[in-house]
Amino acid sequence: MLHANKSQTNTNKSPMLQFPAVSTRFRVLLFLLCVSCTPVGVAQSQNPLADDPRAAAAGGTLFRAQCATCHGADAKGIETIDAPDLTLLWQREGISDAAVFAIIRNGRPGTIMPPHSFTDPQLWMLVSYLHSVDASRTTRLPPGDREAGGRLFAAQCAECHRAGGVQGGSLGPDLGRLASRRSLDSLRTSLRDPDALINRGYEAVTLVTADNERVRGLIKSEDAFTLQILDSEQQLRAFAKRDLRELSRDQQSLMPAFSEAELSEQQFIDIVHYLQSP
Amino acid sequence: MFKTIKQFPLLICLCGSSLFAQESGPSYDDILAGFADGERWLTYSGDYSGQRHSPLTQINPTNVANLRPVWTFQTGTTTRGRGFETTPLADNGVLYVTGSNNYAWAIDARSGRAFWQYRRNLPGDLTYGASAPVNRGFGMLGNTLFMVTLDAHLLAMDRRTGDILWDVVLADYKTGYAATLAPLVLDDKVIVGISGGEYATRGFIDAYAPDTGARLWRFYTIPGPGEPGSETWPDDPDILARGGGGTWMNGSYDPELDLIYWGVGNPNPDYYGDIRPGDNLYSNSLVALEASTGKLRWHYQFTPHDLNDWDSNQLPVLADIDWRGEPRSVVMLANRNGFFYVLDRITGELLQGTPFTATSWARELDADGRPIVLNDGSKGCVPDPWGSTNFMPPSFYAELNLFIVTARETCATFVPEAPDFAPGQASFGGVVFIDNTVGTGALRALDVATGAVRWEFPYASPSFGGVMTTASGLVFAGDHEGNFMAFDAATGENLWHYQGGAQIWGAAPMTFMLDGRQLVLIAAGTTLTAFALPD
């Protein structure tokens, strides 16, 4: 079908800069495929549209229509249905354009991710779009001092966080992993105003046991009858709710807010340099 | 087999014909008798009414705390993102069970061991069936089991072997169709519906001959051009032909009226209504069809011109109740839109419609039974597309006049966007943002007389677990955290729970007697687990 349409689309000059409808998009992409002399319909390992920003835009339209119900309009996933955050896709081990192309086409057998009957150009448009929302792409890091960052981390953060590896605490998330998965703005917000967004698994709770022990910790899991927490001593503990004297959910994060006076912007940048170093 | 037998007339003579006599299996009269035989569970809800209320009383509020697992059956097939949604059928010590990805089994109810397994070779390009690879159960008549498939077929299967007896195509799965429900078996018909309202499809309800698979009638839920109901759509055959209206959940049956009651799903595109102005009948409606002909007797539309994917495919529950001092034959339905409805099931007259969640979409119905819409979603938080409840079956406890349902309190923002229509590609018509930080759930007991919540048991998150009640005063239900639970039906007090390790999603419990012992079964994750009191 694609071959049959090719000559037709070559003669069509007007829609080149438009992406509003599928048919138009097809024509533009077929034109692109033709000028790059890439054989159409043959599986490729390289995205033939990688250098064209219009492909990402068209892929975005397709994504919002066909993928967003599970992966969210911002591609950040929906946790309750196990649909992953695709802005972090490119940080997966062994990922490539060809692999993403194949996953969308074939689905993930045994998961909710179905196969899709998109054409090759549509699949490449989606690959281009997913590159455009790559979380690491939005992080433009100003210059900083990695070693100074390492010293700051050890002094200020390591009680609760790790920076990859085994050193540090486990109350908060591993910042070595986070620093390459989240934008600089998002990291800054978590530092200056940690209560603004408390992710699941980091909601704080204070409870009083039958023995009058007061325990503070993070809710790791909960059902109608039980509560599983990581307490402030970084011990995993579980409680039957009916055995508790008190159970109060805190609106504040256990993470303290760091003002500019306590940790300057440059010091924050230094820490990020340290976290992103291999 | 008979040819072989004829070669040994002496054998027949010596042993008598009874050696080769077939057990005939359950008849229509057996299904019609519902719960009369406590050792059987012969149709999805246990009987045609959809009440899922068993008369068994061995397990009661006093001893239920001792309930424990007897065996666990592992399916070996996963349904990531969805649930193991089946209700087993039970007959003569054998369970007939469908699973995800169109697996099926006959299982020894005493040991949990399978007699046989059926696994369908599914095509690699499934459409709707790939995103919801579930199945809700068998239908059964005589020695034949009936099962629908993710590639939109209806199968007849030999219950002793799992062999396929016939296989008919309901619709072309490549367009977007699939099938997931448990067939409703009447005396001379197998009634099924279809999934795929997220695609450019047109829903229907079909009746097939049990012995041949010949189609007896089809009712389209979206009218053709010029047919009654088409005036509620734009005058465009293309829009009607892809109008949606899936019929993917089970219906109920009134044998005296010879009417079947079936919920109809969303119009397509789900969220984008600008290209389908009008009420869009019979989407989001309950239809009452003559079982013998498939002709529409009456309909009631819960959500005219739906923009939120609030399919009305919840189980219709039939009961004969006292209504304001008069005996009345009613059908009850707790809807994804957040309202609990009571209708006269002979005439379709709306008797009552009251919200059972905190939905901000509407809080009351007008004199004509239409919702007074306060917030179509543009003013923020409305129930998410999974709805205020869904396909998880509720239960009706007649003596307490309680309708017990899993309620979901969620918050979603809908952003419509004009879709492209292509066969085999979903056309939701926009995007939904679900605020995962605020969702909760509860098991709620609704007083049928008023619609008011008489008791509730809160869940940690919006749940999809189905409900069963037993005449001993118990409610069995499940939640999204994996708890299978028993409650006092009168008060809602939790009496027992068992952590099964997987969300109870879409499945509802069933129960039957075996060797004098009451078993209760629930499907969840990759397991089917049987519970009983200690010997």
Cβ–Cβ under 8 Å, residues B242 and B283: no
Cβ–Cβ contact B482 with A under 8 A? yes
Lowest mean pLDDT among A269-273, B144-148, B188-192, B510-514: A269-273
Percentage of residues of chain B with pLDDT beyond 90: 88
Determine the residue of chain B that is closest to A118 in CA distance.
B425
CA dist B312 → A131, B106, B247, B317, B404 (Å): 39, 32, 9, 13, 17
What residues of chain A, 25 to 54, have a C-beta less than 8 Å from chain B?
Answer: none
Cβ–Cβ contact B80 with A under 8 A? yes
Read off the pLDDT of residues A41-90 as tens digits, 9 standing for 90 and up. 445 678 988 888 888 988 998 898 888 888 888 888 776 666 777 887 88
Amino acid at site B189 = K
CATH code, A146-194+256-276: 1.10.760
Q: Is the pLDDT of residue A11 over 60?
A: no
Mean pLDDT of B422-433: 88
pLDDT at A80: 61
What residues of chain B, 368 to 427, have a C-beta less than 8 Å from chain A?
Answer: 385, 415, 417, 419-420, 422, 424-427
CA dist B91 → B411, B513, B522 (Å): 43, 10, 17
Cβ–Cβ under 8 Å, residues B70 and B532: yes
pLDDT at A69: 81
Of the two residues A134 and B445, the one the predictor is more confident about is B445
HSE-up of A68 (CA within 13 Å, CB side)? 24
Measure B27 CA to nearest chain A CA, in Å.
Answer: 37
**Residue B351, in any domain of the structure:** yes
Residue B354, strand partner residues: B340
Residue B431 and residue A69: Cβ atoms within 8 Å?
Answer: yes
Residue A223 and residue B481: Cβ atoms within 8 Å?
Answer: yes
Percentage of residues of chain B with pLDDT beyond 70: 96
pLDDT at B1: 38
- Read off the pLDDT band of B209 (50, 70, 90): very high
Measure B459 CA to nearest chain A CA, in Å.
Answer: 6
Lowest mean pLDDT among A149-158, A223-232, B78-87, B520-529: B78-87
- Chain A neighbors of B432, CB-CB under 8 A: 69
CATH 2.30.30.100 range(s) for chain A read 203-249
Cβ–Cβ under 8 Å, residues B389 and B464: no
Measure A258 CA to nearest chain B CA, in Å.
Answer: 25
Mean pLDDT of A20-29: 38
pLDDT at B19: 58
Is A116 strand, coil or helix? coil
**Alpha-carbon span B94 to B490, nearest angstrom:** 33
Residue B206 parent element (H or E)? strand B204-208
pLDDT at A125: 93
pLDDT at B415: 84
Question: At which residue do the structure tokens 């508790």 appear?
Answer: A244
Cβ–Cβ under 8 Å, residues B318 and B341: no
Residue B468 parent element (H or E)? strand B467-470
Amino acid at site B392 = M
Phi/psi of residue B158, each to 5°? -75, 125
Measure A228 CA to nearest chain B CA, in Å.
Answer: 12
- Longest alpha-carbon distance in chain B: 82
Cβ–Cβ contact A214 with B under 8 A? no
Residue B130 and residue A106: Cβ atoms within 8 Å?
Answer: no
- Chain B neighbors of A106, CB-CB under 8 A: 124
Determine the residue of chain A that is closest to B128 in CA distance.
A114
Question: At which residue do the structure tokens 């509560």 appear?
Answer: A227
pLDDT at B23: 78
- Chain A neighbors of B483, CB-CB under 8 A: 223-225
Residues 6+ apart with CB under 8 A from A159: A168, A169, A171
State which residues form the domain around B97. Answer: 25-532
Residue among A22, A80, A222 whose CB faces B420 most closely: A22
Measure A173 CA to nearest chain B CA, in Å.
Answer: 19
Residue A223 and residue B499: Cβ atoms within 8 Å?
Answer: yes
Measure A64 CA to nearest chain B CA, in Å.
Answer: 7
The torsion angle over the Cα atoms of residues B451, B456, B461 and B467, rounded to 10 degrees, is -80
Q: Is the pLDDT of residue B471 over 50?
A: yes
CA dist A179 → A88, A274, B208, B234, B243 (Å): 12, 10, 60, 53, 47
Measure B441 CA to nearest chain A CA, in Å.
Answer: 10
CATH architecture of the domain with range A203-249: Roll (2.30)
CA dist A194 → A190, A197, A198, B283, B308 (Å): 4, 6, 7, 46, 34
**Residue B231, in any domain of the structure:** yes
- Chain B neighbors of A64, CB-CB under 8 A: 417, 431
pLDDT at B413: 85
Lowest mean pLDDT among A78-87, B15-24, B73-82, B336-345: B15-24
Cβ–Cβ under 8 Å, residues B483 and B463: no
Mean pLDDT of B69-85: 91
Residue among A65, A72, A116 whose CB faces B417 most closely: A65
CA dist A99 → A54, A96, A116 (Å): 22, 5, 14
Read off the pLDDT of residues A133-149 as tens digits, 9 standing for 90 and up. 887 765 567 899 999 99
pLDDT at A44: 67
Residue A110 and residue B80: Cβ atoms within 8 Å?
Answer: yes
Cβ–Cβ under 8 Å, residues B253 and B34: no
Cβ–Cβ contact A238 with B under 8 A? no
Of the two residues B166 and A2, the one the predictor is more confident about is B166
Residue among B78, B417, B425 whose CB faces A110 most closely: B78
pLDDT at A181: 62
pLDDT at B131: 87
Mean pLDDT of chain B: 94
| Residue B101: count of CB within 10 angstroms of its CB | 21
Lowest mean pLDDT among A10-24, A95-109, B189-203, B519-533: A10-24
Read off the pLDDT of residues B113-151 as tens digits, 9 standing for 90 and up. 999 999 999 998 999 998 899 999 999 999 999 999 999
Residue B436 and residue A200: Cβ atoms within 8 Å?
Answer: yes
Measure A201 CA to nearest chain B CA, in Å.
Answer: 12
Residue B433 and residue A73: Cβ atoms within 8 Å?
Answer: yes
- Residues of B with a catalytic annotation lie at 311
Q: For strand B68-74 and strand B371-373, is the pairing parallel, antiparallel, or unpaired?
A: unpaired
Nearest to B103 by CA among B83, B82, B76, B130: B76
Cβ–Cβ contact A223 with B under 8 A? yes
Residue among A78, A82, A115 whose CB faces B125 most closely: A115
Q: Is the pLDDT of residue B376 over 60?
A: yes
Is A58 strand, coil or helix? helix
Convert B382-440 into a string of H (helix), E (strand) and C (coil). ECCCCCCCCCCCCEEEHHHCEEEEEEEECCEEEEECCCCCECCECCCCEEEEECCCCCE
Residue among B80, B426, B479 whose CB faces A66 most closely: B426
Residue A112 and residue B483: Cβ atoms within 8 Å?
Answer: no
pLDDT at B43: 98
The token pair that represents A157 in the structure block: 């953060």
Nearest to B174 by CA among B210, B129, B120, B107: B129
Domain boundaries A2-137, CATH class? mainly alpha
Cβ–Cβ contact A247 with B under 8 A? no
3-state helix, strand, coil in chain A (%, to 5): 45, 10, 45
Mean pLDDT of B483-496: 98
| Number of domains, chain B | 1
The token pair that represents A40 in the structure block: 């159409």
**Alpha-carbon span B15 to B376, nearest angstrom:** 73
- Read off the pLDDT band of B432 (50, 70, 90): confident
CATH 1.10.760.10 range(s) for chain A read 2-137
Q: Is the pLDDT of residue A39 over 70?
A: no
Phi/psi of residue B403, each to 5°? -105, 115
CATH number at B373 reads 2.140.10.10
Percentage of residues of chain A with pLDDT beyond 90: 41
**Alpha-carbon span B116 to B446, nearest angstrom:** 41
- Chain A neighbors of B408, CB-CB under 8 A: none
Residue B12 parent element (H or E)? helix B9-15
Residue B262, strand partner residues: B287
CA dist A2 → A8, A40, A148, B518 (Å): 10, 7, 57, 62
Lowest mean pLDDT among A36-50, A188-202, B157-171: A36-50
Cβ–Cβ contact A106 with B under 8 A? yes
Residue among B385, B439, B483 whose CB faces A224 most closely: B483
Cβ–Cβ contact A111 with B under 8 A? yes
Cβ–Cβ contact A66 with B under 8 A? yes
- Chain A neighbors of B125, CB-CB under 8 A: 115, 117
**Alpha-carbon span A102 to B439, nearest angstrom:** 34
- Chain B neighbors of A59, CB-CB under 8 A: none
Of the two residues B35 and A35, the one the predictor is more confident about is B35
Could you give the ipTM of this predicted complex?
0.76
